[in-house]
A = this chain, B = another copy of it.
Amino acid sequence: MTIKKGNLISFSGGNQGQWIVRSMKTLSGNAIEPVSRIEITKESQLPADAKWTFNAFISNLRYTTRKEKTELDQGSKPLGIESNNYAALIPIKKSDEWWKMTQDERRKIFEEDSRHIALSLDYLPFISRQLHHCRDLGEHFDFLTWFEFSSAHEDKFDALVQMLRETKEWDYVIGEIDIRLHRS
């Protein structure tokens, strides 16, 4: 059963691709096979040597309010800025407990308790980002989070992910692998 290719984006780990792996760190859940490069593709043609491939799609906003979106948009920079020579791919899996919650319960933990959006705002000028969804595809991970930033600002990225990992939202994260990359 195939789905239309245009909507999917694939991250393939192997020994080819535009992003060179600097480090892979399993923070929770099972590790994945180490690779030297990651290829990102919207084509059905995956690299022949891939050790793993994660498929995902970009979707509509699930929690963000209009006020928050306005603030986020003001600070956000697009992907693909040449001086952002570093990137991070962080696949995330949340627990069944998270997914059984209703929208209001998840929103409360996400923002009112954990301030996911509020904490991120200060970092937008330095860190470009894109969320990809994959739980509904039956993938192991629920999200593939993607960030691009300059090597000069990796300390800021470290500070951001460290803050998020200490929030209540992260009590529901049962799989997380922090893959750091640089542009080839």
Contacts and interface: CB of A to CB of B under 8 A. Distances in A.
Nearest to A8: B1
A4 B183 CA distance: 30
Contact of A1 (B44, B68, B136): B44
B62 A103 contact: yes
Interface stretch (A26-34, A53-61, A76-84): A53-61
Assembly of this chain: how many copies? 2
Interface residues of A, number: 36
Given A137-B4, A137-B7, A102 B55 contact: no
A128 to B, nearest CB: 20
B1 A3 contact: yes
Contacts of A136: 7, 57, 59, 133, 136
A112 to B, nearest CB: 13
B64 A103 contact: yes
A62 B104 CA distance: 9
Interface of A: 1-8, 10, 44, 46, 55, 57, 59-66, 68-69, 99, 101-105, 107, 133, 135-139
14 contacts: A1-B3, A1-B46, A2-B2, A3-B3, A3-B8, A3-B138, A4-B138, A4-B139, A57-B137, A61-B103, A64-B102, A65-B102, A68-B102, A133-B136
